[in-house]
Structure 1
Amino acid sequence: MNNHLESMLGYHSWANRTILERISELPESILAEEVNSSYPTIAHALSHIHAVDQMWLLVLQESAMPEAMQNCMPLNSRVLDSVDEYADLFAGLSGEYEEWFRSQHDLEQPLLLDNPYAGVREIRRSDILMHVVNHGTYHRGNISTMLRQLGHASVMTDYAMFWYQEPVTAV
């Protein structure tokens, strides 16, 4: 990957797959087990990551933020029954981001963002992409903590681990 933002999106997809693979090794009930954390269950945390990723993709595709938020709010509270369902959901969204990314020529192009909670401001598309990755990293950390609270080890999803997923090339 020769573009830093492309690499970051690749990392985000990889990290989501990696945490989902770890969860799939555990009893199926793990998704719905309640914990005292940012979200009541791992399924709720996964649904939140997906809903926010979907909302930001709509914004990047030129939907107004209030409309994008309204469209994605139901996704935030919709919990799925299996890790496979989440894996399919995240894989589909990752493909949509990749398709959008390939169609872009200037990620530094400003976008007028009308955030109902914070007001109107001009923001670059590249900043939105970095936020999507950062937001996912934050909540995968929540999920790691939730797994530990439930008595299970998590898995490393650090960006540095992602570097080693590609074959080494001669310098």
Structure 2
Amino acid sequence: MAAMNPIHPLGDYFATLARYHVWATRRLLDAHIAPLPEADYRRDCGLFFKSIHGTLNHLLVGEGLLWQRRFVDGVSPAGLALDDEAEPDRARLAQRLLATAQAWQPYIAALPPERFDAPLRYATSKGEPTTTPFAATLAHVFNHATHHRGQITAALTAMGHPSPVLDLIYMLREEQA
């Protein structure tokens, strides 16, 4: 696959993470969440956000409504709680999660190389101004999603449902095939 940002090595790295994020999100939602019975989907299975639905909503709030707005729009939304139910309908939630994941690819591809070495300035959810390293904070967004997908796969396994293989290396091998 051609380099997205050949001037800065982090451009290629984040382009890979963005592709992986779409691949893993689609794989989890289509093959393992879509056929899940409603009772299991909404069951409190001991996750930090209780159910699979609650965890997926948290991903939408954290990534789509907070972090993406901070990175892409330069806006720090106020009044959102990390456990808000942003989308009660599971089919629309899946669509919004996938669209949110897909939005990172063109954003990262368009970043100038110097942006990776700059700070990210935003307000926390409590309204406090803060500055964090841009690249490390962008890595946090993808790491956060991986963390919660892992929780969901553990919940699927605990309920006796099949769990997808979501390791990055599998996506890389698929791309090479």
Deviation readout 1:87-113 (Å, 9 max, x if unpaired): 310222123322322331132222234
For these two proteins, the number of residue pairs brought into alignment is: 164
**Which 10-residue stretch deviates more, 16-25 or 101-110?**
101-110
Which residue does 2:44 correspond to in 1?
Answer: 34
Seen in structure 2, the aligned counterparts of structure 1 residues 79 and 87 have a Cα distance that, compared at 3 Å, is closer
CA contact (8 A) 1:48 1:76 kept: yes
Q: Identify the residue that residue 80 of structure 1 maps to in structure 2.
A: 88
Q: Which residue of 1 aligns with 2:162?
A: 153
**Is 1:92 aligned to 2:102, yes or no?**
no
> Is the 2:22–2:102 Cα contact (8 Å) retained in structure 1?
no
Aligned to 2:33: 23
2:9 is aligned to none
**How far off is 1:143 after superposition?**
0.5
Instruction: Supply the distance in 1 between the matched residues of 2:110 and 2:138 (Cα, whole angstroms).
Output: 14
Paired letter, 1:129: L
Q: Which amino acid counterpart does residue 5 of structure 1 have in structure 2?
A: F
Q: Structure 1 residues 74 and 158, CA, compared in 2 at 3 Å: closer, same or farther?
A: closer
Alpha-carbon separation, structure 2, partners of 1:159 and 1:124: 24
Q: Which deviations, in whole Å up to 9, do the C-alpha atoms of 1:35-76 show, x marking residues without a partner?
A: 2232221000001111111211111135354xx253x43883
Specify the code of the residue in structure 1 equivalent to 2:109. Answer: R
Question: Match of 2:70, as an amino acid?
Answer: V
Aligned equivalents of 1:53 and 1:88: distance in 2?
14
Change (3 A) 1:120 1:152: same
Percent identity over the alignment? 21
Q: TM-score with structure 1 length normalisation?
A: 0.80
SS at 2:100 equivalent: helix
Shift of 1:124: 2.8
Unaligned runs of 5+ in 2: 4-11
Tell me, which stretches of 5 or more residues in structure 1 are unaligned?
none
Q: Which residue of 2 aligns with 1:44?
A: 54
